[in-house]
Amino acid sequence: MGLSSSQRKQIASLLEDQIRRKLSDYSPESNNMPFHVRLLGQDRMALFSFIQSINTTLGTSVFEQVAVIIAAPRFKHAIHQYKDFNDTISEDAQKAIQNIIDALTVGKLKPNKNSEIEKILEVAQTGKIKKIKKPRIDLFLESNDGTEYYFDLKTAKPNMNEIVGFKRKMLEWVAIRASKSLKPNIYTGLAIPYNPYEPDSYKRWTFQGMFDLDNELKVASDFWDFLGGEKTYEDLLETFEDVGIKLRPEIDDKFANFKSKKTP
């Protein structure tokens, strides 16, 4: 299926707006790095700083908005930074989650999302029900059959400590949702927008033992094609490339201005 012409235009417009706004507002960081500047040049150091800023913007905002543009035609609801979530959880469910985390950590259990959800649902409305701060979901989808999808979009190379925290969050979302609806048709998982190891397969060993890889993790084309259908990932890369080619002269002009600047 891939991206429609309208979706390509929407995504391109989003990217162009973000890049041009960054270019307009950009000024190099004030950190004095005289060795780096003399070795690499002021213009390259300025560009490096700009690229880091763009990388942050992609990870914290752009990928989520692009996901909504892609998913909107195929899902009943597609919302980024979703806030309309429950604000309660049972203490029994929290204990069940801790038991699951402990067992996975020491290898007593193998990850099995369906089994884990069953354990949580058994106690999701038993014991004391506590008020908590509403989670904010990076990407919420609801399909036409009523299935609810809650995604956390993450960087390409999380460390082990982060992975344990991600797992807890995935299970807590189930418990929070089930505290008011005992049998929610729910999926919670991580989405990683691209594979840094391509063309090799994603090195998912850091998730092994903690995540049910087939049911909790979507990487690169697995994620984007899930949202938009087959070939969506390829079309998306082409769209990013087209925008990059279009904006390259503006970017080059911006950073050419730094060539004449000298360090004290």
At 261 the pLDDT is 47
93, β-bridge pairs = none
Reference 260, options 42, 99, 112; nearest CA is 42
At 111 the pLDDT is 95
Domains of the chain: 1-61+231-264 (no CATH), 75-228 (3.40.1560)
Confidence of residue 263 (pLDDT cuts 50, 70, 90): very low
pLDDT higher than threshold 60 for residue 46: yes
Q: What is the pLDDT of residues 186-196, one digit of tens each?
A: 999 999 999 88
- For the chain, the average pLDDT equals 90
pLDDT higher than threshold 70 for residue 260: no
At 78 the pLDDT is 98
Extract the tokens encoding 264.
């004290």
Alpha helices in the chain (DSSP H): 5-25, 34-40, 42-57, 63-71, 91-105, 113-123, 160-178, 213-216, 221-228, 232-256
Contact present, 181 and 90 (Cβ < 8 Å)? no
**Which contacts of 44-50 are long-range, i.e. CB under 8 A and separated by 24 or more positions?**
45/258, 46/255, 46/258, 47/251, 47/255, 50/22, 50/23, 50/26, 50/251, 50/255
pLDDT higher than threshold 80 for residue 257: no
At 205 the pLDDT is 67
Tell me phi and psi for residue 147, to 5 degrees: -65, 130
Q: What is the pLDDT of residues 173-227, one digit of tens each?
A: 999 999 988 778 899 999 999 988 888 888 766 788 899 989 999 999 999 999 9
pLDDT higher than threshold 80 for residue 253: yes
Q: What is the pLDDT of residues 49-87, one digit of tens each?
A: 888 888 888 888 899 999 999 999 999 999 999 998 989
**108 or 1, which is more confident?**
108
Contact present, 153 and 63 (Cβ < 8 Å)? yes
Mean per-residue pLDDT for 3-27? Answer: 92
Confidence of residue 30 (pLDDT cuts 50, 70, 90): low
pTM metric for this prediction: 0.88
At 28 the pLDDT is 66
- Residue 68 to residues 143, 152, 161, Cα–Cα distance (Å): 13, 13, 29
Handedness of CA 14, 18, 20, 21 (dihedral sign): positive
Confidence of residue 264 (pLDDT cuts 50, 70, 90): very low
Mean per-residue pLDDT for 15-22? Answer: 92
